[in-house]
């Protein structure tokens, strides 16, 4: 009998000697009874479904032969056992080997399941080559099962029998059966998933190129991409990928490491997913936004909460005066116009006129007359396209415009914005948003934009002083999001929301503009969870 002591491993095959050494380092005793803990295993897993017909047939083919066929998953957990003869079944049952048992090398030592997974190579373990003496009466050959599409190690098929049996035919049997199982795995892979994998493998041929594929229930990444991205960066990348609905989208992102990258998200044809291709990371400082405009007046527009005032003040520079059109209601039109005229009389000072969409037609005409010929003026409003929101007399005077996109159109920025806001709001630096929390935040539509995000982060900073912020720490309405929409569904949602907004909330008019019936529109509202 072969010895399993450290000093006798020189007499064993190299692969067996290495396995014995690992078994001993795991603290196993070769003469003890193996501890076999059983758990229930799913009966509908893809590997088990692919293998079941193959195992059914081989048992009929070898009916009465002293053989046992063991199917295990990538974690060495037994999914299925088939016996070709009652004698073998009784022997296996006596040992306690059954579905749900884990045969990992660190739990039961050298065997044709756990050791095959450890080495990722086919292996024959003959009788006493098993580390534990409890298995010495069996010889087994394990063949790894590699998914032909994903190239992932799915599990192992172990063909075994008594130690006195001729084990030379174990290998060809196992190899033939595994080939059939792998073929069935390939056929059962959805077409969309195959397309995603094909796109990934094609892009990954470029060595050292950081590439990812993001699909429903699938994330693939090259080693270079894994090295480049911090876990917190994944939320920003996924948020950007969600915006690549029908065409490629290119964004720049400052990573947690401080490196700046440019990456392109391209929809994969027929794959319901996105290929993310990173350009070479840069360390050059991000160009600073301009603090002045070449031509005046300037119009800054965007939805509520997008930071119109902040952008207007930045553009105006130091010393800018703010006049809010919303104050007309309190001060009266005449008093407000007089105050504006006085501000415009100051030479060199930039005047910011906020919320010009609140002005009546007559007041807008008056303001247009006052600022005509006055260069240093910044106007802010909610929209530059809706004539009912911004008066044409004011829009026509503006020589430059800056649009502030809503957060839902720049989701990739939400993780970075949330981290910066938390750094500003938190009393200490011991508070951190986890990657999962950032993904939850990035998935929200944020109708209140930056202002709403700021309120949420402020609430977190007030309730927590240190540690990781997980999704359950978020305010109740923000803790969970639904299943992420596919790029096509995301685009459909954006079109419907825009149509409803353009129709002033009138869903009948929105349906007419979209060319669908009202019942169809209401059905899509329910499916896409549009309030």
Q: Looking at the DSSP assignment, which residues form a beta bridge with residue 141?
A: 124, 159
Residues 6+ apart with CB under 8 A from 459: 475
Residue 273 pLDDT > 50: yes
Secondary structure in 3-state letters for 190-230? CHHHHHHHHHHHHHCCCCCCCEEEEECCEEEECHHHHHHCC
**pLDDT-based confidence at residue 48 (cuts at 50, 70, 90):** very high
pTM value surpassing 0.85: no
The structure tokens listed for 401 are: 């415009």
Q: What is the mean pLDDT of the chain?
A: 82
**Predicted local confidence at residue 446, as pLDDT:** 85
**Predicted local confidence at residue 484, as pLDDT:** 53
Phi, psi for residue 171 in degrees, rounded to 5: -65, -50
pLDDT in tens, 50-107: 999 999 999 999 999 999 999 999 999 999 999 988 888 888 888 889 999 999 999 9
Rounded Cα–Cα distance for residues 125 and 157 (Å)? 13
Q: Indicate the Cα dihedral angle 136, 139, 141, 142, nearest 10°.
A: -30
**pLDDT-based confidence at residue 143 (cuts at 50, 70, 90):** very high
Rounded Cα–Cα distance for residues 437 and 231 (Å)? 11
- Residue found under tokens 């998200």: 265
The arithmetic mean of pLDDT across residues 447-472, rounded, is: 87
Residue 194 pLDDT > 80: no
* 3 state SS of 273: strand
**Predicted local confidence at residue 176, as pLDDT:** 94
| Pure H helices in 279-332 | 308-316, 328-331
Residue 3 pLDDT > 50: no
Percent of the chain with pLDDT over 90: 22
**Predicted local confidence at residue 481, as pLDDT:** 62
Provide the strand spans (E) within 94-226: 123-125, 138-146, 153-162, 211-215, 218-221
| Pure H helices in 243-282 | none
Residues 6+ apart with CB under 8 A from 136: 1, 127, 128, 130, 163
Residue 488 pLDDT > 80: no
Q: Higher model confidence: residue 187 or residue 120? A: 120
Q: Higher model confidence: residue 75 or residue 516? A: 75
Residue 140 pLDDT > 90: yes
pLDDT in tens, 319-376: 788 899 888 888 898 999 898 888 888 766 789 999 888 888 888 888 888 888 776 8
* 3 state SS of 178: helix
How many residues make up the chain in this entry?
531
**Predicted local confidence at residue 117, as pLDDT:** 95
**pLDDT-based confidence at residue 513 (cuts at 50, 70, 90):** confident
Residues 6+ apart with CB under 8 A from 76: 102, 103, 104, 105, 107, 113, 114, 117, 156
Q: Per residue in 502-530, is it b (16+ CB within 10 Å) or e — as a string?
A: ebeeeeeebbeebebeeeebeebbeebee
pLDDT in tens, 381-403: 886 454 445 677 787 788 788 88
Rounded Cα–Cα distance for residues 438 and 468 (Å)? 11
* 3 state SS of 144: strand
């Amino acid at each position: 009998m072969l010895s399993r002591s450290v000093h006798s491993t020189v007499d064993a095959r190299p692969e067996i000697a290495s396995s014995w050494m690992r078994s001993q380092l795991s603290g196993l005793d070769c003469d003890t009874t193996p501890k076999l803990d059983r758990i229930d295993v799913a009966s509908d897993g893809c590997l088990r479904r692919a293998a079941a017909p193959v195992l059914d047939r081989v048992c009929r083919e070898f009916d009465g032969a002293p053989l046992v066929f063991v199917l295990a998953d990538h974690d060495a957990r037994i999914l299925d056992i088939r016996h070709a003869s009652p004698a073998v079944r009784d022997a296996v049952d006596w040992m306690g080997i059954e579905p749900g048992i884990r045969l990992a090398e660190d739990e039961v030592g050298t065997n044709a399941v756990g050791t095959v997974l450890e080495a990722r190579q086919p292996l024959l373990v003959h009788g006493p080559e098993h580390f534990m003496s409890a298995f010495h009466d069996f010889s087994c050959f394990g063949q790894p099962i590699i998914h032909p599409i994903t190239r992932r190690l799915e599990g192992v098929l172990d063909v075994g029998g008594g130690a006195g049996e001729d084990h030379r035919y174990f290998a060809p049997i196992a190899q033939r059966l595994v080939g059939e199982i792998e073929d069935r795995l390939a056929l059962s892979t959805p077409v969309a998933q195959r397309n995603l994998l094909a796109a990934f493998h094609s892009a990954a041929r470029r060595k050292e190129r950081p590439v990812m594929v993001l699909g429903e229930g699938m994330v693939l990444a090259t080693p270079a991409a894994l090295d480049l991205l911090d876990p917190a960066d994944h939320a920003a990348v996924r948020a950007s990928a969600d915006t690549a609905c029908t065409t490629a989208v290119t964004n720049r992102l400052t990573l947690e490491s401080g490196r700046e990258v440019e990456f392109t998200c391209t929809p994969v044809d027929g794959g319901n997913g996105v290929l993310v291709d990173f350009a070479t990371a840069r360390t050059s400082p991000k160009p600073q936004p301009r603090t002045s405009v070449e031509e005046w007046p300037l119009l800054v527009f965007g939805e509520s909460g997008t930071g119109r005032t902040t952008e207007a003040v930045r553009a105006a520079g130091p010393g800018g005066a703010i006049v809010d059109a919303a104050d007309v209601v309190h001060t009266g039109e005449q008093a407000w116009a007089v105050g504006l005229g006085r501000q415009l009389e100051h030479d060199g000072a930039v005047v910011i006129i906020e919320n010009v969409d609140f002005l009546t037609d007559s007041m807008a005409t008056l303001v247009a007359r006052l600022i005509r010929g006055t260069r240093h003026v910044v106007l802010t409003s909610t929209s530059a396209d809706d004539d009912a929101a911004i008066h044409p007399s004011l829009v026509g005077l503006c020589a430059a415009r800056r649009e502030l996109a809503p957060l839902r159109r720049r989701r990739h920025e939400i993780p970075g914005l949330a981290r910066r806001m938390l750094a500003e709001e938190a009393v200490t630096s011991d508070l951190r948003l986890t990657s999962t929390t950032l993904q939850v935040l990035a998935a929200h539509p944020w109708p209140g934009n930056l202002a709403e995000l700021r309120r949420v982060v402020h609430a977190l900073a007030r309730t927590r002083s240190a540690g990781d912020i997980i999704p359950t720490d978020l305010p109740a309405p923000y803790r969970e999001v639904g299943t992420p929409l596919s790029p096509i569904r995301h685009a459909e949602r954006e079109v419907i929301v825009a149509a409803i907004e353009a129709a002033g909330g009138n869903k009948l008019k929105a349906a007419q503009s979209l060319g669908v019936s009202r019942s169809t529109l209401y059905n899509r509202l329910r499916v896409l969870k549009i309030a």
